[in-house]
Structure 1
Amino acid sequence: MFLHDKHLQFEAKPVKPNPLMAKRVQELIGGQYGEMSVAMQYLFQGWGVRKGNEHYKDLLLDIGTEELGHIEMLATMVGRLLNGTSIEHQEAAMKDPATAAILSGMNPQHAIVSGMNARPADSVGNPWMGSYIISSGNLLADFRANLNAESQGRTQAVRIYEMTDDPGLKDMLAVLIARDSYHQNLWLQAIVELEAAEGKITPGSFDRKLEREDIAFSLYNHSASSEESAQGSWANGATPAGDGQFKYESKVYVEGTVPELENPHPSLHSTKLQKLWNPGRRLPGFFVCRLSGCLPVMNILLI
């Protein structure tokens, strides 16, 4: 169950309204790496943890619940950024709210849809989607996804921090950035712990003898005019997992054949076989026409 406290964990008070910044802050709420995504990701991962891993379950639910509080802080900030706009803006909005919103750089949905409140959407109005979250049941794979989510989320928060000169907004963003720093450290440590128990390659429970060992350590050069990727540590030496040696292949290894798919059942009405290439057959001649007249073009022999 959840318990709600009316207090924000940290303040969310801008010095002055700014509908354009409200639009940008929406990315931190309902964007792919926004707080709605990480909150739902951690909660669903936590709810799915099986017995014997209660410490991971509590960790995920603790952080997921914290992220719900971050959504509330951001939603409050957006509402306050949209409040108290200038008299001129209010007068224009009375005449045509949508036009006024667009001209001010504001998201018109803040006026039309939500009545000057935050929305579960990103900075351009795309609604948040549950498909953003990752919850696989494999904690090592999930914790790596969590590290990526916190890395992307912190990057976006830092960018918005650099876009504003509002001290109040900066103060709240500084809180979120600091918490994202901790969360990155948290997932890094949890990953180290699980890697020590399960190995670095996930899932570690799969028998490695069942995979193709001969191609499990090779970097194939797919660049037509460069081999610079061969200079990286991923191209030679021992693997981080300690399970083999990296190899660099200057040419792509190919053992497959050219695929030829059989025609589907006629009831599906797919394209029929079209024989387009007939060596020795001449294509009919054609004309190139301009205002001055038409000129014949010689026909072409297919070879």
Structure 2
Amino acid sequence: MFFHEPELQYEVTVEEPDPHFAKLLQQAIGGQEGEMRVALQYMFQAWALPEEYEAYRKLLMETATEELGHIEMLATAVTKNLRGSPKQMREETEETAAAAAAMTGQNPRQFLSSGLSAMPVDSNGVPFDGAYVAASGNLAGDLYANVMAEATGRTLATRLWEYTDDPGMKDMLSYLIARDTMHQNQWLEALESLDDPVPVPASFPQEEENQDVNYAFISTRRDPQEDPGFPWTQGTAPDGNGEFSYLAEQPGDGDGVPPAPDPKTYSDPEPDGSDGD
């Protein structure tokens, strides 16, 4: 169940409307690093958790709902950058969306499809893709995915902050960057609170793994190389369950030739199934 208050989570002001910046802000809404991604990701992760993980479910849902508020903030920022642009630019936009794109660098669809407002698309106008959402049903794996999502989202927000000179936009982005800092840390802390969560899934019996390669760094160079002595080629692995090693060559065995396909698939290029001789 959701409730909505008719106010933004954080004030959004635009002093110098910029249709081109509105286009860039779309990436933070519907792009791969955007708020739609994390809002849906955290929701679907939460909905998969059983009762014993209720605390984590609440953590995920609280944060997912906050991310919905971020979408609202960014959508407001996009609209203010579009509709607050100078009158001459608006009149030019009304004449032809192509001229608007040429003049301002804005997405023509922000005029054609949404009437100068935000859309669930990225900065290139590509619709949001649910494939961006990582929700595996394994809490540890999902928390790692969340750290990555917040890291890429924070990187995007910092680049947008550097791009704009508008004080209001910098203030809004400063808030979003700060929240990304918190969210990265809360997911890392949640991971720390789990008992031995790695390797993911930790519930799979490790004795069923191939013990010759489960902690071995395998070189794929054609000529065998000596162990470079990196932290990931020697020493104790972070999960504490094994010791890193270095294999100078890939195991190599067998062949990759597949068996003949079923004739009913009609994969053979010749009528009698001959080999061309």
Which residue type is aligned with residue 175 of structure 1? Answer: Y
The aligned residue for residue 103 of structure 2 is 103
The structure where strand makes up a greater share of residues is 1
Alpha carbons 2:224, 2:248 under 8 Å: kept: no
Alpha carbons 2:38, 2:149 under 8 Å: kept: yes
Higher normalized contact order (CA 8 Å, seq sep 6+, divided by chain length): 2
How far does residue 230 in structure 1 lie from its aligned partner after superposition?
Answer: 2.7
How far does residue 263 in structure 1 lie from its aligned partner after superposition?
Answer: 2.3
Which residue type is aligned with residue 266 of structure 1? Answer: P
The aligned residue for residue 6 of structure 1 is 6
Q: Find the structure with the greater CA-based Rg.
A: 1
Match 1:267 to one of 264, 267, 274: 264
The aligned residue for residue 75 of structure 2 is 75
Which residue type is aligned with residue 218 of structure 1? Answer: A
Match 2:244 to one of 237, 243, 246: 246
The aligned residue for residue 137 of structure 1 is 137
How far does residue 17 in structure 1 lie from its aligned partner after superposition?
Answer: 0.9
CA shift digits 1:107-143 (9 cap, x unpaired)? 1110111110000011101111222111122111110
The aligned residue for residue 91 of structure 2 is 91
The aligned residue for residue 63 of structure 1 is 63
Match 1:207 to one of 205, 208, 219: 205
Q: Name the SS of the counterpart of 1:52 in structure 2.
A: helix
The aligned residue for residue 217 of structure 1 is 215
Q: Name the SS of the counterpart of 1:230 in structure 2.
A: coil
Q: Name the SS of the counterpart of 1:93 in structure 2.
A: helix
Q: Call closer, same or farther: CA 1:265–1:135 in 2, change over 3 Å.
A: same
How far does residue 62 in structure 1 lie from its aligned partner after superposition?
Answer: 0.5
RMSD of equivalent CA atoms: 1.8
Q: Sequence identity of aligned pairs in percent?
A: 41
- Provide TM-score, normalisation by structure 1: 0.85
How far does residue 91 in structure 1 lie from its aligned partner after superposition?
Answer: 3.1
Question: Across the two proteins, how many residue pairs are aligned to each other?
Answer: 274
Structure 1: how far apart are the matches of 2:223 and 2:160? 39
CA shift digits 1:181-227 (9 cap, x unpaired)? 00000001011111xx1342111111111111111111111134795
The aligned residue for residue 117 of structure 2 is 117
CA shift digits 1:56-108 (9 cap, x unpaired)? 11111110000000000000000000013223322322321233224321111
Which residue type is aligned with residue 262 of structure 2? Answer: H
How far does residue 156 in structure 1 lie from its aligned partner after superposition?
Answer: 0.6
Q: Name the SS of the counterpart of 1:3 in structure 2.
A: coil
Which residue type is aligned with residue 115 of structure 1? Answer: G
How far does residue 274 in structure 1 lie from its aligned partner after superposition?
Answer: 7.0
Structure 1: how far apart are the matches of 2:227 and 2:158? 30
The aligned residue for residue 34 of structure 1 is 34
